[in-house]
Amino acid sequence: MTSIVIPTCDRPAALRRCVSTLLSNLAVYGRSPRILVADGSVTRNSPVDNRDVAASLNEEYSAGVALIGHDEGERLISELVSAGLEEGVVKFALGGIPDLRIGCFGANRNFLLLMTSGENFVSVDDDTEISFASGSQFRRGSAAEDSVKHEDLDPFLQVRVYHDRQSLQQSVEFGPLDFIGAHESILGARVAEFCPPFGQPAIAARTTDSPAESGRVVLTFSGLAGDCGWGTPSQYLFLSKKSLEGLTSSDEMYLESITSRDLVQLTTALTLSQRTDYLMATAFAADNRSMLPPFIPVGRGEDSVFGRVVQNTQHDVWFGHLPQAIFHGPVGRRRFARGEIIRSAATTDLASLMCATVEQATVKQDVVEQFPTRGRDIPGSLRELGRSLSAFGAMSINAFQEYIRECRTRLSQRRLAFLEGRLGSAGGLAPSYVADLKTYIARLREGDRREEAGIPAEILYGREIDDALYWTRKVIATYGELLSAWPDIVEVAQGCSTRLVEESHV
């Protein structure tokens, strides 16, 4: 593991805490990777403050923290365009679409992907602290029970909710961990190494019939302890029955819990999965030696889309979930509002629409066009998927609106099937939870009938329907163009990334 990367944006205090605890951890375990901070700050003072943070920590720890900011990004864009790459696509990859006003978090991550091309890296968000809770604290059965194979990851993803940050920190035991070593021990390994009798037992959640022995672990994830990182509390309605036991034991407990963002979510044993439902990029490691795809540069949930593209452009890819949770503590108090658990039912978000579109494009490649090399030739797979997404740009607005309405219906049908099944076995659960299930189901159906069905809520906000449809179509088509161009972008960036990093040392 040669690099640790940290995307940051307008949070100098959080960045200081993250990097200082990281440097202390590396010193304890004798690790000396390079540390790259990509600064996507947009406020006036944050870039200067972040540079001061990096300089002071370099002096205090005799470290080599490189801060890559706006100037370095502009130089990379200039070099990529000078090499003949399409300017609009390059600026989308590394700058998103600022006029959309929905955030460009994935653009910052794309810069770091290019700076680490050809190597393994660990990524942590700037509001994490390098301190860990072990999954053994939350195991309800025996280790043997947690180590059997299972077709679904969900029963093994433990979620425990706390009233607030203070009660979580008082109840959960945090301790040290060789953070890099934990990820390094499984990243890039063949799945057979972790299946008895080849090595440590693991839970395998599978989505293909390919032999596990042929699979390789491409991404590894730490669990989270602290802020959930969710965009909506509706996630509480979809928890596994095991995680629901404490949450729905009474109305009082349920109503108090669903406004909290403070929880622990992790697997209680090393878990290998082909599922991408639970991917969160707050703390993860990646094998970038055989080319990872770009993150979608606009909107939240960029990690969900990234995982779905990885799954559909690489052959027999597996994801590793570590049984340790990193502390995730954004500065300031955060809570969900009462009633917010229902709000998202009638709407669609960009990440869900993108994941559905990637899945649909992949089915078309396999079944209709008989694309036989999907996943084995990664650049070719990215280009093929990119061409499928780019085709949306040629659609009429009416045809595109019908398409995203169909996507919305498919998504809601899956959720309805789950929630109606849950409602049928809801005996003994808190009445308020059952009432929210019924209301959410009704709102799902209502959302399917709306004129704006399928349009991402974050793009629709403040816009007329026709304008929102235009921007939604543009985002999907331009992300397709980026996927097609990404192999060329990576190749050109490899020639200048080292120099940019050297120039960025504070």
Say if CB 215 and CB 320 are below 8 A apart.
no
User: Shortest CA distance to 139 belongs to which of 325, 276, 319?
Assistant: 325
The confidence score (pLDDT) of residue 202 equals: 58
The confidence score (pLDDT) of residue 322 equals: 93
**Long-range CB contacts (< 8 A, 24+ apart) of 446-453?**
446/345, 446/346, 447/345, 447/346, 447/347, 447/348, 447/408, 447/412, 448/408, 448/409, 448/412, 450/346, 453/348, 453/404, 453/405, 453/408, 453/409
The confidence score (pLDDT) of residue 166 equals: 92
Residue 419's Cβ-count burial label (10 Å; 0-12, 13-18, 19+) is: buried
The confidence score (pLDDT) of residue 155 equals: 54
CA distance 116 to 190: 22
User: Shortest CA distance to 244 belongs to which of 230, 231, 258?
Assistant: 258
The confidence score (pLDDT) of residue 367 equals: 41
Residue with tokens 């959720």, as numbered in its chain: 415
Say if CB 233 and CB 340 are below 8 A apart.
yes
Say if CB 154 and CB 271 are below 8 A apart.
no
Domain that holds residue 144: 3-504
The confidence score (pLDDT) of residue 152 equals: 45
For residue 193, the 8-state DSSP code is: G
Structural domains counted in the chain: 1
Region of 118 (left: φ > 0; alpha: ψ -120 to 50; beta: rest) is left
The confidence score (pLDDT) of residue 151 equals: 39
Residue 326, classed as helix, strand or coil, is strand
Residue 175, classed as helix, strand or coil, is strand
For residue 216, the 8-state DSSP code is: E
User: Shortest CA distance to 116 belongs to which of 290, 282, 281, 280?
Assistant: 290
The confidence score (pLDDT) of residue 340 equals: 93
CA distance 197 to 354: 39
Residue 253's Cβ-count burial label (10 Å; 0-12, 13-18, 19+) is: middle
Helix then strand count (H, E) for the chain reads: 19, 13
pTM comes to: 0.92
Residues of the chain with pLDDT below 50 are 141-153, 196-199, 201, 367-373
